[in-house]
C-alpha cells in the first residue's frame, strides 16, 4: 500500500509519532506555531533578500591588512578601503614602531591627473604598487595600470615605463615545493658534454653533436619504449624507465546551445575513472661507462608518473624516490643502490584504511641526510625527523592530540620548522588555525598566536623578524596586529575591522554551535544563521548546507559577512552548516569514518547536531529539514533523502558525483579504495534511487568537466524507472557549479514551496513579486 505524502502539518504529526516510537521525547517546544509567511510577508522577504545581496557589499571595512614589504625588507605599506570606497595608504616602520600616511592624497592625485591627462580621485585613489626613493626624492607608484614617478619636492609627476624595482630578499628559511610536480627528464649530462636520447624505444648516448650515438638498451620498442631519463650528478649513471603506456579513457560532453549554429557540438577528453588502467614505469639504472643496465628491485610504478630522483649528497651510487601504491594504503621512500639495483625502504608507512596522498609531506636535507616527514601514524597528523641513511626516526618533532595543518617553512640553519596547527588549546574550537615554530629535536616550541582564541592568518617580513597577524572568528571582527617573531610580542595594533555598517542593516552574526556526535563524546562544530526578522515565538524549518568531502573541513572559522546562507535565511529559514565525522583536520579516527563509506557523509553526527540545536532552541523545527549541496555536496544532499528519509524532507542536489565509479579516479579511489568493489555499487545514489522519499531538485550544468553530467543523468534515469517524483534543471553551457544565479534562485524557491508550504513568486507574471497563494488554499 502506498502511503500518500503528507503536507507540512501532517508531516509534523508523523515526525512526532516517529519520535515517540524511537524513544525521543516530543518536547513542549514544538507547541510553537510554524512560521508560514502570508503573501505580503513572503514578497517582503524576497525583496529584502535581493536588496541585501547588494547593500551588504562593502559593509565590512578594514577586514585585513595586506602588507607590501618594501625593498629594504624593514618597512611595508598597506591600503585601507573605507566607507563609500574611500581609500587610505599607510607606511609602517616596525623597527621604529611607527605608522604614518604614505603620501598626501590630494597632491598625488593632482600630479597624476596632469601627468596622464586623466582624472585621479584624491578620495578614491587606487594604487597597485608603491616604492620610495629617498635619495631621489621620489615616490614610484602604479595606478590605472600605468607607472608614475612623483617628485616629493616639486609636487609633480611624470609617466614612466615599468621600472625594474628592487625586491626584498627572503633570507634564513625555505619553502617546500610541491611534491606532486611533474618529473622533468634531463637528456643532457651534468657536464653538458653528453646527451641521452631514445630511438625506436631504446636508449642511446653520445656527444651533443653526435647523431648516431652508442646504443645502451636493446629490449625496448615503440610499443614499450624506454624514457623519462635522468642523470646522476657525476654523469656515471642514467635512470630510466621501461614504459607500458595506457591511453586515458575518454568522456564526452555536449554543448547544446552554442551561438551561430543550429547543431550541438560534442567534445571528448581524457578522464580517468576508478578502476581504469594507468601507464606503468619499470625503473632501470644504466652504467653509461660499461653499458650495463640493471632493473631496480621494486614493483613497477603504476600510479602517478615517473618520480623525482634524489641522489644522496657525497654518495654517487645511491638515490631515493617516493612511491604511493595505488589504493592509498602504502607510502614509501625507497633507496636504490645504482650499482646493482638493490632497494631498501627508508620510510614505509602502511595502513588498513588510507593515507591521504595530497597531504603527504617530506622535506629533504641532503647536508645532514635527514628527512622531515609528516604522518598520521600515531592517530594525529605530526612531524618526524628521519635519518635518511638508516631509515630510523630520530625523534618526533611534534606530538599530542592535535593536528599539524601545514608546514609554512623550514629554517635549515637554525634547524626550526614554522608550521600551522589546530586543536592544541583545550576548550578552543579545534579547527582554529594557530602558528608555531619548533626545533627539529622537538624542543623550543614558540606559540606565535596564543594571544587570541581565534583563527589566524600570518604574513611574515622577508627576514622573519616581524609578522602581521589578522585574526577573527565568525562572531568577532578581524583584528590586524604587527608582532615580533622572537616571542610573539606586540609591536602595534594596525586595524580593527569596522562591522557596524553591516550590523546596522539588521543582521545578527551567526551562532557558533557545538553538540555531541554519534558516539555521544566527540564535539561536532557548526554555525547557525537566522533571519533578520526572526520571531522567537515561531519555529522555522532547518536547511543544512552540506559538503562532506573528506579532503578538508568546511565550516568557516574566520569572520565572514553576508553570504548565501544568511541570504537564504532571510526567506524564513534557520540555515546551518557543520563538519561531521569523515571530514579532515581532526584525528585519524575521525577521518577514517569515510573509508569505503562515502555514503555515511557524517549523517549520524549531523542529525544528532540538529536535534541538539532543536532541543536547545524551540524555534529550530527539526520536523521540517532541507539540505543542499554541490559536487560531493550534491552526492550528500541526495543521499540524505535516500538513506535518512525519516529526518530530511527536501533536497537540492547540484552536479553531484552520485556514483563514485563515474567520477574522477584520483579523488574517489583515495576514499573508496582500489580495486573497485561491491561497496561502490552499494553506496551509489544511482543504485539506491528507488529509495527516494521527500522532495528532490537535481541541478546540473550540461558541460561539467569536473563531474561528468551523466552522473546526474543516470540518477534521473533510475528515478524515472522507479516512478519517482523529482525535478531536474539542466543549465545549457554551464560547467561545474550550483546552477549559477538561476540555479540558486530555483533552489530558494524550491525550499520556500516544500518547507514553508507557500508558492514562491511567479516571475512570468507582470510583477516581479506577485502575491503568492498558500499551498492547499
Domain ranges of the chain: 29-54+507-756, 71-160, 180-354
What's residue 20's pLDDT? 32
| Domain boundaries 29-54+507-756, CATH class | alpha beta
C-alpha closest to that of 654 among 739, 550, 568, 567: 739
CATH topology identical between 29-54+507-756 and 180-354: no
Sequence-ordered list of residues with C-beta below 8 angstroms from that of 70, at least 6 positions apart, any chain: 76, 77, 131, 132, 168
What's residue 2's pLDDT? 33
Lowest mean pLDDT across 18-22, 141-145, 450-454, 550-554: 18-22
Q: Is the pLDDT score of 177 beyond 80?
A: no
CA dihedral 120, 125, 126, 130 (to 10 degrees): 100
What's residue 765's pLDDT? 83
Q: Are strands 87-93 and 98-101 parallel, antiparallel or unpaired?
A: antiparallel
pLDDT in tens, 476-524: 999 999 999 999 999 999 999 999 999 999 999 999 999 999 999 999 9
Element (H, E) at 670: helix 665-672
Per the CB < 8 A criterion, the answer to whether 704 and 735 are in contact is yes
| CATH number belonging to domain 180-354 | 2.140.10.30
Q: Is the pLDDT score of 580 beyond 80?
A: yes
Sequence-ordered list of residues with C-beta below 8 angstroms from that of 712, at least 6 positions apart, any chain: 634, 653, 655, 656, 658, 698, 699, 700, 728
Q: 3-state DSSP call for residue 350?
A: strand
C-alpha closest to that of 488 among 422, 418, 405: 418
Q: What does pTM read for this prediction?
A: 0.92
Distance separating alpha carbons of residues 489 and 482, to the nearest angstrom:
9
Work out the pLDDT band at 183, boundaries 50, 70, 90.
Answer: low
Among left, alpha and beta (phi > 0; psi -120 to 50; other), residue 382 is: beta
Distance separating alpha carbons of residues 310 and 322, to the nearest angstrom:
10
What's residue 21's pLDDT? 35
Give the bridge partners for 294, in sequence order.
Answer: 285
pLDDT in tens, 539-556: 999 999 999 999 999 999
Q: 3-state DSSP call for residue 524?
A: strand
Element (H, E) at 540: strand 540-545
In this structure, how many other beta carbons lie within 10 angstroms of the beta carbon of residue 150? 21
Per the CB < 8 A criterion, the answer to whether 543 and 574 are in contact is yes
What's residue 24's pLDDT? 39
Average pLDDT, integer, range 51-56 = 92
Residue with cell 516530543: 26
What's residue 369's pLDDT? 97
CA 269, distance to chain mean position in Å, is: 25
In this structure, how many other beta carbons lie within 10 angstroms of the beta carbon of residue 80? 17
Amino acid at each position: 500500500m502506498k502511503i500518500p505524502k503528507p503536507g507540512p502539518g501532517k508531516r509534523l504529526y508523523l515526525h512526532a509519532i516517529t519520535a515517540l516510537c524511537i524513544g525521543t521525547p516530543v518536547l513542549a517546544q514544538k507547541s510553537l506555531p510554524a512560521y508560514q509567511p502570508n503573501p505580503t510577508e513572503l514578497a517582503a522577504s524576497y525583496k529584502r533578500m535581493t536588496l541585501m545581496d547588494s547593500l551588504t557589499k562593502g559593509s565590512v571595512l578594514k577586514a585585513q591588512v595586506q602588507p607590501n614589504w618594501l625593498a629594504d625588507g624593514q618597512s611595508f605599506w598597506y591600503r585601507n578601503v573605507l566607507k563609500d570606497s574611500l581609500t587610505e595608504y599607510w607606511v609602517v616602520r616596525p623597527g621604529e614602531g611607527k605608522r604614518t600616511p604614505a603620501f598626501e592624497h590630494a597632491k598625488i592625485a593632482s600630479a597624476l591627473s596632469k601627468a596622464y591627462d586623466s582624472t585621479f580621485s584624491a578620495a578614491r585613489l587606487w594604487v597597485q604598487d608603491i616604492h620610495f626613493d629617498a635619495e631621489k626624492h621620489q615616490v614610484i607608484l602604479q595606478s590605472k595600470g600605468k607607472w608614475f614617478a612623483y617628485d616629493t619636492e616639486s609636487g609633480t609627476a611624470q609617466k614612466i615605463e615599468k621600472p625594474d624595482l628592487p625586491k626584498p630578499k627572503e633570507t634564513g628559511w625555505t619553502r617546500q615545493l610541491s611534491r606532486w610536480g611533474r618529473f622533468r627528464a634531463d637528456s643532457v649530462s651534468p657536464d653538458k658534454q653528453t646527451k641521452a636520447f631514445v630511438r625506436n624505444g631504446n636508449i642511446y648516448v653520445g656527444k651533443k653533436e653526435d647523431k648516431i650515438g652508442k646504443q645502451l638498451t636493446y629490449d625496448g620498442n615503440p610499443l614499450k619504449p624506454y624514457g623519462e631519463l635522468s642523470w646522476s650528478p657525476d654523469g656515471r649513471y642514467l635512470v630510466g624507465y621501461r614504459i607500458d603506456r595506457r591511453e586515458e579513457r575518454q568522456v564526452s560532453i555536449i554543448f547544446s546551445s552554442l551561438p551561430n549554429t543550429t547543431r550541438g557540438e560534442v567534445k571528448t577528453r581524457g578522464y580517468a575513472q576508478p578502476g581504469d588502467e594507468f601507464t606503468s614505469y619499470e625503473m632501470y639504472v644504466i652504467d653509461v661507462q660499461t653499458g650495463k643496465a640493471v632493473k631496480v628491485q621494486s614493483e613497477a610504478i603504476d600510479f602517478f608518473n615517473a618520480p623525482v630522483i634524489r641522489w644522496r649528497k657525497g654518495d654517487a651510487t645511491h638515490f631515493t624516490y617516493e612511491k604511493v601504491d595505488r589504493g592509498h594504503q602504502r607510502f614509501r621512500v625507497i633507496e636504490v643502490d645504482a650499482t646493482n639495483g638493490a632497494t631498501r625502504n627508508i620510510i614505509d608507512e602502511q595502513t588498513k584504511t588510507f593515507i591521504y596522498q595530497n597531504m603527504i609531506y617530506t622535506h629533504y636535507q641532503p647536508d645532514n641526510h635527514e628527512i622531515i616527514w609528516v604522518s598520521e601514524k600515531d592517530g594525529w597528523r605530526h612531524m618526524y625527523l628521519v635519518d635518511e641513511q638508516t631509515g630510523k626516526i630520530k625523534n618526533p618533532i611534534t606530538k599530542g592530540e592535535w593536528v599539524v595543518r601545514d608546514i609554512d617553512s623550514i629554517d635549515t640553519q637554525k634547524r626550526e620548522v614554522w608550521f600551522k596547527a589546530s586543536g592544541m588549546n583545550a576548550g578552543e574550537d579545534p579547527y582554529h588555525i594557530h602558528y608555531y615554530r619548533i626545533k627539529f629535536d622537538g624542543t623550543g616550541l614558540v606559540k606565535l598566536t596564543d594571544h587570541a582564541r581565534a583563527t589566524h592568518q600570518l604574513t611574515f617580513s622577508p627576514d622573519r623578524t616581524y609578522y602581521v597577524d589578522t585574526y577573527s572568528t565568525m562572531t568577532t571582527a578581524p583584528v590586524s596586529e604587527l608582532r615580533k617573531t622572537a616571542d610573539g610580542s606586540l609591536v602595534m595594533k594596525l586595524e580593527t575591522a569596522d562591522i557596524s555598517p553591516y550590523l546596522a542593516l539588521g543582521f545578527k552574526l551567526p551562532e557558533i554551535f557545538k553538540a555531541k556526535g554519534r558516539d555521544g563524546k566527540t564535539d561536532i562544530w557548526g554555525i547557525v544563521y537566522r533571519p533578520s526578522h526572526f520571531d522567537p515565538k515561531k519555529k522555522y524549518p532547518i536547511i543544512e548546507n552540506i559538503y562532506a568531502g573528506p579532503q578538508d573541513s568546511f565550516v568557516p572559522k574566520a569572520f565572514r559577512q553576508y553570504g548565501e546562507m544568511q541570504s537564504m535565511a532571510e526567506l524564513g529559514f534557520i540555515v546551518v552548516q557543520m563538519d561531521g565525522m569523515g571530514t579532515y583536520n581532526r584525528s585519524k579516527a575521525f577521518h577514517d569514518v569515510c573509508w569505503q563509506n562515502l555514503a555515511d557523509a557524517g549523517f549520524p553526527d549531523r542529525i544528532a547536531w540538529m536535534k541538539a540545536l532543536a532541543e536547545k532552541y524551540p524555534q529550530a523545527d527539526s520536523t521540517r529539514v532541507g539540505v543542499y549541496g554541490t559536487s560531493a555536496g550534491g552526492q550528500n544532499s541526495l543521499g540524505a533523502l535516500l538513506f535518512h528519509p525519516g529526518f530530511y524532507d527536501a533536497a537540492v542536489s547540484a552536479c553531484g558525483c552520485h556514483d563514485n565509479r563515474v567520477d574522477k579516479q584520483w579523488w574517489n579511489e583515495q576514499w573508496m579504495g582500489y580495486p573497485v568493489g561491491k561497496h561502490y555499487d552499494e553506496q551509489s545514489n544511482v543504485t539506491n534511487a528507488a529509495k527516494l522519499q521527500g522532495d528532490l531538485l537535481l541541478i546540473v550544468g550540461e558541460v561539467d568537466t569536473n563531474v561528468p553530467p551523466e552522473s546526474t543523468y543516470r540518477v534521473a534515469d533510475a528515478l524515472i524507472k522507479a516512478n519517482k517524483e523529482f525535478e531536474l534543471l539542466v543549465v545549457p553551457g554551464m560547467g561545474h557549479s550550483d546552477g549559477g544565479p538561476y540555479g540558486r534562485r530555483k533552489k530558494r524557491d524550491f525550499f520556500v514551496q516544500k518547507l514553508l508550504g507557500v508558492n514562491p513568486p511567479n516571475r512570468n507574471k507582470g510583477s516581479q513579486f506577485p502575491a503568492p497563494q498558500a499551498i492547499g488554499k
